Each structure stands twice: as structure tokens, then as C-alpha cells.
Amino acid sequence: MSQLVFRDARKEDLPRIVAIYNTTVASRMVTADTSPVTVESRQKWFDEHSPSTRPLWLVEEQNNILGWVSFQSFYGRPAYDATVEISIYLDEQQRGRGLGKQILQYCIDKAPSLGVHTLLGFIFAHNVPSITLFEKMGFQEWANLPNIATLDGVERSLKILGKRLS
């Protein structure tokens, strides 16, 4: 496997970011969105990212976009500035290659330089592959919110996995 490259997302990347995200909607495993989102609807979210504190990175291999990863502020209050929610989304052709582990390790390594001391993953309880990945990388279950989402008439639980960085 060649070296992964992480680069800050640019405005012109937003359609590709949205396209990758939308490939996860139908699975009902990754997102609470129940229909595809638009580029326009994700503009505010995109604008909230900053390379110096809340990055949105594209993950590339040989100039091919494999996916993206973002840090998002937790709860929006100043006392939580050192805590972020991490989100990883891969192109459907790239899933199952072990990229999640490399991406998550990169985020763990980079977080302290961004002033981040705590990483959180918000993961549906039925998304066993993602929970397994995060647990293998040292995350622990910090919360279980039972049956708080309804997807196609099925109630789903949400787990919050956390990792404190030294």
C-alpha cells in the first residue's frame, strides 16, 4: 500500500466530500441522515472547519481521493475546546482496506498539535465494524444512548467512544 496523503479540504472539494458522505446514507449504519444531502446544505458545516483547530482533511493515495476525515467542535462551549468529534468517511470502493486504522492513527497523532486532548466518536451501536476499529485504537465506550434514533421505523442506539490523549 502506498503512503496516504492528508491535505486540507478546499471549497472545490465539497462536492466530492458530499458524494462520499451520501454513499453511506442508504446503509443506515453510519449517519442519521435518511436521504442524501446537498452541497449547499453542507456549506455551513464546511465553513466551520479550520486547518489550525478543526481540520477537514481529504485522504489521498497517488492523487486519488479515498475519503475524508473531520474534527468538529463538541457542544460548542469554550470549556470544551480541547474536545472534538472525529468523523471518517471512505469512498465505497476503498472500504475494507484497513484505511480506517491509518486515518484514525493520523488523527490521534495530529490532535495534540491542534490543541485537542480528547477525541470522541459518535457511532451507532449496530455499526460493529466502526466500534471495533475505534476500540482497537484505544477508544473506550463512554456513553450509550439507547434507542435515540429511528431509521426506517427501527429504533437505534448511539454509542459515544472516547480517547483521552496524553
Task: Summarize pLDDT for 111-147 with one digit per residue, the tens.
Answer: 999 999 999 999 999 999 999 999 999 999 999 999 9
* Tens digit of each residue's pLDDT (9 = 90 or more) over 71-110: 999 998 999 999 999 999 999 888 888 899 999 999 999 9
Contacts by residues 13-19 (CB-CB < 8 Å, ≥ 24 positions apart): 13/58, 13/65, 13/68, 14/39, 14/42, 14/43, 14/46, 15/39, 16/58, 16/65, 17/42, 17/46, 17/56, 17/58, 17/68, 17/89, 18/42
- pTM value is 0.93
Q: What is the pLDDT of residue 97?
A: 87
Q: 5-117 adopts what CATH topology?
A: Aminopeptidase (3.40.630)
pLDDT value at residue 58: 97
Residue spans of the domains in the chain: they are 5-117
pLDDT at 32: 75
Is the model's pLDDT at 164 over the cut of 80?
Answer: yes
